[in-house]
Amino acid sequence: MRRATRSFRIGVMPPSSCSYLPDRQESVAIVLDAELHNMPSYDALIQSGFRRSGDNIYRPHCAECKACHSLRVDTAAFTPSKSQKRQINQLNRLEIRIEDTLNEDWFSLYERYINQRHQNGSMYPANKQDFLSFIQSGWQRSKYIHLFDGNTLIAIAVTDVLVQGYSAIYSFFDPDHPWSLGSLCVLAQIQTAAQHGIPWLYLGFQIDDCAAMRYKQKFTPNERFTAGEWKTSE
């Protein structure tokens, strides 16, 4: 059965220096039609390789580069590696709280994370309103997965809740903690999605030539959106 299709308008941003591959230029296509800025439409668009930033829905639209591929993890079939099994044991020692709002201590944790891990990034210096504008939307429902080590908040994974998937928007954590908290955030999202019968966790764009992005492909089985369809990664 063929899926129903519809046309919609996009706006293409002018090229600028790529945030992930410094020797290349990047451009993004942004969905312009206001009637598509809602949860059901976004649920369909994310299945076509789109992402959300604030109220904007976008995906890469680079003229000479096809390095970015949307990646999603099959939550029901997820098979942890040996190292991920150790991380799951660590996760089981933490308290996971799924909240509708951010914990009151979130900004101090976020500020420490940005100051120590991303001083050369676009989010430095940490700004509360800029970050909230990035992760929040007037039409999309999000959950905040909090990880506590005892009574101490050590990580937060911002997660969009869709009909057919969860979408990992952004995670930040205690930069001094000895565990790999970024991976634990992904594992917590996979675990939560599977418990709620959500088939996919969308991890954003996989860029093989970007070292900071390679962790995503370690969560298997996964699929990439390539040439207009989802294909199982090899």
Domain coordinates of the chain in residue numbers? 10-66, 72-232
Q: Does domain 72-232 have CATH number 3.40.50.170?
A: no
CB hemisphere CA count around 149 (13 angstroms)? 11
pLDDT digits (tens, 9 = 90+) for 14-46: 999 998 898 999 999 999 999 999 999 999 999
**pLDDT score of 2 more than 60:** no
169 vs 213: CA distance, rounded Å: 14
Q: Are strands 165-173 and 200-207 parallel, antiparallel or unpaired?
A: parallel
Residue 6: φ, ψ to 5°? -150, 155
| Strand blocks (E) in 90-215 | 95-99, 142-149, 152-161, 165-173, 200-207
> pLDDT per residue over 62-119, tens digit each?
988 999 999 999 999 999 999 999 999 999 999 999 999 999 999 999 999 999 999 8
- Per-residue pLDDT band for 1 (boundaries 50, 70, 90) equals very low
Q: Report residue 124 as tokens.
A: 């430095």
The number of beta carbons lying within 10 Å of the beta carbon of residue 189 is 26
